[in-house]
Amino acid sequence: MPDPILQFDRVSKQYQNAGRVTRPAVHDVSFTLAPGTTLSIVGRSGSGKSTLLHLAAGIDVPTSGRVLLAGQDLSRIGERQRTLLRREHVGLVFQFFYLLPHLSLLENIALPEWIAGRTTPQVRARVMELLERVDLADRAHDRVQKLSGGEMQRVAICRALIRRPALLLADEPTGNLDDENSRIVMELLLQLAREEQSTLVYVTHSTELAALAAQTWHLHSGQLEPGTPA
């Protein structure tokens, strides 16, 4: 059996507000994800979905328990080491795209590689390959503000995949799109994750889009209820 890409071992996360009142966000969550898994997590606003993804990516660390990314315990390494581990193994897709409007599609997608110090011709070739797969190759040099919302999210997915991450995390990736574009973008994300052999975890409030994953789990008040495979 291949080693798991992501493990949660009795993970809890609590926050304190200005009045020092403790608010639990995630409570006693445990699971193991094998490479190639496609998993959706459904829950209402405030149920802890985004916190769960932040813990998985090492953006945040648990109050108790362990999160292991590619075998590394994220609580036992510093912030810089977590950043480097995330850069190496994780691709992130957000609801609000977070594209730089003064850059072209090509430049936005290549940016993670440039930050990592890679400016080789292979990076450009990889960008063009991804743009071809999302039907935007002819727009490579356009500024992103010329794009529709669905097109912007396709660019954001390409950016997340540029370094061939083992783990792809998507936080409400269709939350800013209409129903038609939501379905198109979600099916494209799942297709690309399969082709890239990335483990995909996405959170959504849509039960219809959640059903496209191989497994759907539910998060209620920070507690995870694993479902059965589709």
Weakest-pLDDT range from 51-55, 61-65, 116-120, 168-172: 116-120
The whole-angstrom separation of Cα 105 and Cα 107 is: 6
* DSSP three-state, residue 98: coil
pTM: 0.90
pLDDT tens sequence across 180-226: 889 999 999 999 999 999 999 999 988 999 999 999 999 888 888 87
Residue 179 has a pLDDT of: 87
Query: What's the chain's average pLDDT?
Result: 90
pLDDT tens sequence across 5-31: 999 999 999 987 766 667 778 999 999
How would residue 230 be classed by pLDDT, with cut points 50, 70 and 90?
very low
* Domains of the chain, earliest start first: 6-225 (3.40.50.300)
DSSP secondary structure of 139-186: GTTSBGGGS-HHHHHHHHHHHHHTT--SEEEEESTTTTS-HHHHHHHH
* DSSP three-state, residue 46: coil
The fraction of the chain above a pLDDT of 70, given in percent, is 96
